[in-house]
Amino acid sequence: MTELVTGNGEPTAAEPAAAQSAEPAVAKVSQWADIRARFFANKLAVLGLAIIIVLVLVAIFAPLLAPHDPLHQDLNATLRSPGGDYLLGTDALGRDQLSRLIYGSRIAVIVGVASILVACTLGIVLGALAGYFGRAVDSIIMRTADIFFAFPLLIGAIVIILLMGRGVLPVVLSLGIFSWATYARLLRSQILSVREMDYVHAAAALGASKTRIIRKHVLPNSLTSVLVYATSNVGIAIVAEASLSYLGVGVDPEVAEWGNMIARGRDFIGVKDFMWTYPSIAIVITVLGFVLLGNGLRDALDPKLR
C-alpha cells in the first residue's frame, strides 16, 4: 500500500481520513446484516414469517386454490361431513367450507393490515406532535387519547359501524380509530427520550426546521418499538374483526369470512363441530404467526439484546 509522507518523512493524515470515511458505510452494512442474521437465527420468528407468507399467498391466489365457489349453495349437500368432494364439509346452506375458509383469508389480511395502518398513521402523527412540541399540544393530544382508552375496542367499533353501516371499510376505520391512542402514547414516550439527544440539538443549532428534525432525526430513531407493536397487533385486529362478524355487526353475513363461519357453526356445537373448528384454528394460527414475527423483530432490533 502506498504511503504519503511529508517533508520530514512522517505519514500524512490522508490515508487515515480515507479509512475513517469508509467506516460508517461498513458499520451500516454490518448492522443490517447483524439484524437479519439475528432474525433468521430465531426459529420461532422464521416460523411466524412463514405462516404470514403462506396466509398472504393463499389470499392472493384464492380463486385458484378454492375448489368451489364460496357463495354457491348446493341444497342437496347441506351439512356434509368432511370428505369426498368437500374436504372440510359444507354448512347449512351447502356451501363448501374449505372454499369459504380460503376466501376468508382475504378479509383477514385486508382488515388486519389496513386497520393497523390507519391506527399507525394517526398514532405516529399525533404521537410525534405530542412528544416533540410538548406542553399544550402534548396535553390536548394525550387527554384525547385518554378518552379513546376509556372505550373498549369492540364497543367503540360497534358504535362507528352502526353509524356508517356494515362492510369492510367501516370495520377497518372503526378498528383503526379506536386503536391509535396506544401507538401515539408509545411513540410519544420514545420521542421524549430521543429529542434530548445531542444530534437533535445539533440539527436545531444548524438551523434545521422542526418539521425536518421530526422527519429526519426523531421519527427514524423512535419507530422501532411502534413497528414491533404494530406487527404483533395485526393478529389482534384480525381477532377483533372476526368477533364483530360473529356478533353480526361486521361484514355482511353472506361474505366468506372466518367470524361468519364460526357464527354459522355455533348452532351445531356438539353435532357438526367441523363448522366452527376449522375457522377457529385458522384464526389461532394466523394470530400466532404475527405474534412470533413481532417477537422476532423485537429481539433482532433491540440493541440491548445484541
Rounded to whole angstroms, the Cα distance separating 249 from 242 reads 10
Comparing 122 with 1, which gets the higher pLDDT?
A: 122
Let me know if residue 181 belongs to a domain.
yes
- Is the pLDDT at 22 greater than 50? The verdict is no
DSSP string, 248-265: T-SS-TTS--HHHHHHHH
Give the domain extent around 179.
46-305
In the structure, what pLDDT confidence band is assigned to residue 305 with cuts at 50, 70 and 90? low
pLDDT at residue 26 greater than cutoff 50: no
In a domain, 139, yes or no: yes
Q: Look at residue 32 and tell me if it is in a domain.
A: no
Q: Where are the alpha helices (DSSP H) in the chain?
A: 14-41, 43-60, 62-65, 97-133, 135-149, 153-164, 168-177, 180-194, 198-205, 210-213, 224-246, 258-265, 274-301
pLDDT tens, position by position, 193-247: 777 777 777 777 777 777 777 777 677 777 788 888 999 899 999 999 999 999 9
28 inside domain? no
Which domain CATH number covers 229? 1.10.3720.10
Once rounded to an integer, what is the mean pLDDT over residues 140-157? 90
CB 271 within 8 A of CB 201: no
> Model pTM?
0.82
18 pLDDT tier (thresholds 50, 70, 90): very low
Instruction: Report the number of distinct structural domains present in the chain.
Output: 1
Contacts of 273 by beta carbon, 8 Å cutoff, 6+ apart: 265
Q: How far apart are alpha carbons 185 and 7 in whole angstroms? A: 61
Measured distance CA(140)–CA(151) in Å, rounded: 18
* Assigned domain for 41 exists: no
Residue 254's contacts (CB-CB under 8 Å, 6 or more residues apart) are: 71, 260
DSSP-based three-state secondary structure for 152: coil
Is residue 38 one of the residues assigned to a domain? Answer: no
* Residue 175 one-letter amino acid: L
pLDDT in tens, 43-74: 999 999 999 999 999 999 999 999 999 999 98
CA dihedral 111, 50, 291, 187 (to 10 degrees): -70
- Quickly state the pLDDT bin for 9 (edges 50, 70, 90): low
CA distance 51 to 56: 9
For residues 306 and 296, give the distance between their C-alpha atoms in angstroms, rounded to a whole number: 13
Is residue 130 within 8 A of residue 188, CB to CB? The reply is yes
**Cell numbers given for 272:** 357438526
Of 297, 286, 221, 233, which Cα lies nearest the Cα of 258? Answer: 286
Phi, psi (rounded to 5 degrees) for 36: -65, -40
Domain membership flag for residue 4: no
Residue 3 lies in a domain: no
On the 0-12 / 13-18 / 19+ scale of CB atoms within 10 A, 96 is buried
Q: Supply the angle between the helices 97-133 and 180-194 in degrees, to the nearest 10.
A: 40
**Contact by Cβ (8 Å): 132, 282:** no
